[in-house]
Amino acid sequence: MELLKKKILEEGRVAPGGILKVDGFLNHRVDIALCNEIGKEFRRIFPEKNINKILTMEASGIGIACIAAQYFDNVPVVYAKKSASKNIDGEVYVSEVESYTRGNTNKVIVSKRYLSKEDNILIIDDFLAKGKALMGLIEIIKQADANIVGAGIVIEKGFQSGGKIIRDMGIRLESLAIIENMSENSLTFRE
Amino acid sequence: MELLKKKILEEGRVAPGGILKVDGFLNHRVDIALCNEIGKEFRRIFPEKNINKILTMEASGIGIACIAAQYFDNVPVVYAKKSASKNIDGEVYVSEVESYTRGNTNKVIVSKRYLSKEDNILIIDDFLAKGKALMGLIEIIKQADANIVGAGIVIEKGFQSGGKIIRDMGIRLESLAIIENMSENSLTFRE
């Protein structure tokens, strides 16, 4: 997605530790017009009529998923929560997710009320690196015995292992920008 | 907002401990069409042309704020983050927020890159009870020396102290549904 790649080149920053910082438009300050273009692009890539739910991970996936859902006939967005809150009761699906950027492991949960085996789910998330968050969401969908239509990722770090692992699982994974190499001075995309 | 009140009456549940659970449409499974109506209503209430940014709190404010921003000429949404992540570097505004539903206290932070004294900010959040989250956001805006146009809340618990405290501070606070009383068997709105 050219608009996204342009934005990454113009406004992204590579911080020490191999972290690509796109908090100016994606995951702290959110560019709403860009999210709409991202949503349209996900719809173009995933035209399947049976998608009836979008699943994402709090917090940084939520804005993108909610805007994108408007291009999927306003299907509901369910977001996995990172820790047990008093606000979720009853039965939940649970998986463990290691966070690359936070350096810890979280339980992520989804209420059983909101995922079922009748669902055809598109996963949307902002980043894919080692794939831990995405694998956590896939695990939850499997627990629900629901169908995974595919996973739409905004930015994939192609030089990390997550993309290959997920694709090797047979999941249809589509990333709008795949970074082939990056350093503090340069960043190139996979063609 | 009648549509919202109807939704709360039909799908909200009051759990032990005085917690109103609206996770079926607002803060776990998100009803995108409803969020659009909420966004339109916030715009009707806050028609000010100078609003150039929406500030909210992760995680449950993000979806609502991002959808609403589309009715405010796609102004950017900035969300305060609940704990220091490797993904935020540099200078930040910080406030402490006690969470009613999680039973703990978090530091919430906003990068100084994304709030400045030129900003005219509308705060949007899903819930107002004791007002701790909202006061945290106001504190951050004050640190940035920015202008608070007002605060738009989806659901206010009118029987708790937050609304009065915030309004007594001179902040223009508008809630789309104010709950006057609730128990496990009944729920009434303020007229």
Q: A interface toward B at CB cutoff 8 Å?
A: 15, 17, 19, 21, 23-24, 27-33, 35-36, 58-59, 62-63, 65-67, 69-70, 74-79, 81-83, 85-89, 101-103, 110-111, 113-114
Cβ-based contacts of A83 with chain B (< 8 Å): 102
Lookup: tokens for B100: 């009613």
Out of A28, A30, A89, name the one closest to residue B81 (CB): A28
Residue A29: list chain B partners with CB under 8 A: 76-78, 111, 113-114
DSSP assigned state of B114: G
Task: Report residue B40's pLDDT band, with 50, 70 and 90 as the boundaries.
Answer: very high
Residues of B in Cβ contact (< 8 Å) with A23: 87-88, 111, 113-114
Residue A18: the pLDDT is 81
Peptide bond preceding B59 in cis form (omega within 30 of 0): yes
* Residue B183 neighbours by CB distance under 10 Å: 9
pTM over 0.90? The answer is yes
pLDDT tens profile B86-131: 555 569 999 988 876 667 788 999 999 999 999 999 999 999 999 9
Phi, psi of B5 (to 5 degrees): -60, -40
Query: What's the pLDDT score for residue B87?
Result: 54
Q: Is the pLDDT of residue B85 over 60?
A: no
DSSP string, chain A: -HHHHHHHHHH-EEETTTEEE-TTTTSSEE-HHHHHHHHHHHHHH---TT--EEEEETTTTHHHHHHHHTTTTT--EEEEBSS--TT--S-EEEEEEEETTTTEEEEEEEEGGG--TT-EEEEEEEEESS-HHHHHHHHHHHHTT-EEEEEEEEEEETTSSHHHHHHHTT--EEEEEEEEEE-SS-EEE--
Contact partners, residue A170, CB within 8 Å, separation at least 6? none
In single-letter form, the type of residue at position B64 comes to I
Task: Tell me the two tokens of residue A178.
Answer: 């795949």
What value of ipTM does the predicted structure carry? 0.95
Contact of B119 with B52, CB cutoff 8 Å: yes
Q: Which tokens is A66 given?
A: 């909610």
User: What is residue B81's three-state secondary structure?
Assistant: strand
Token pair, residue A36, equals 């709409």
Q: How far apart are CA B20 and CA B154, in angstroms?
A: 13
Would you say B187 and B12 are in contact if contact means Cβ atoms under 8 Å apart?
Answer: yes
Contact call for residues B68 and B124 (beta carbons, < 8 A): yes
| Distance (Å) of CA B15 to CA A59, A81, B182 | 24, 19, 10
Tens place of pLDDT per residue across chain A (191 aa): 999 999 999 999 998 888 899 999 999 999 999 999 999 999 999 999 999 999 999 999 999 999 999 999 999 999 999 875 555 556 999 998 887 666 778 899 999 999 999 999 999 999 999 999 999 999 999 999 999 999 999 999 999 999 999 999 999 999 999 999 999 889 999 98
Q: Which residues of A touch B32 (CB under 8 A)?
A: 66, 69-70, 74-77
Confidence grade of residue B185 (pLDDT, cut at 50, 70, 90): confident
| pLDDT attached to residue A15 | 87
Give the pLDDT score at B171: 98
d(CA B141, CA B128): 18
Average pLDDT, chain B: 94
Q: Are B75 and A32 in contact (CB under 8 A)?
A: yes
Percent of chain B at pLDDT exceeding 70: 95
Q: Is residue A69 packed enough to be buried (19+ CB in 10 Å), middle (13-18) or exposed (0-12)? A: buried
How crowded is residue B166: how many other Cβ atoms within 10 Å of its Cβ? 21
Q: What pLDDT is recorded for position A87? A: 53
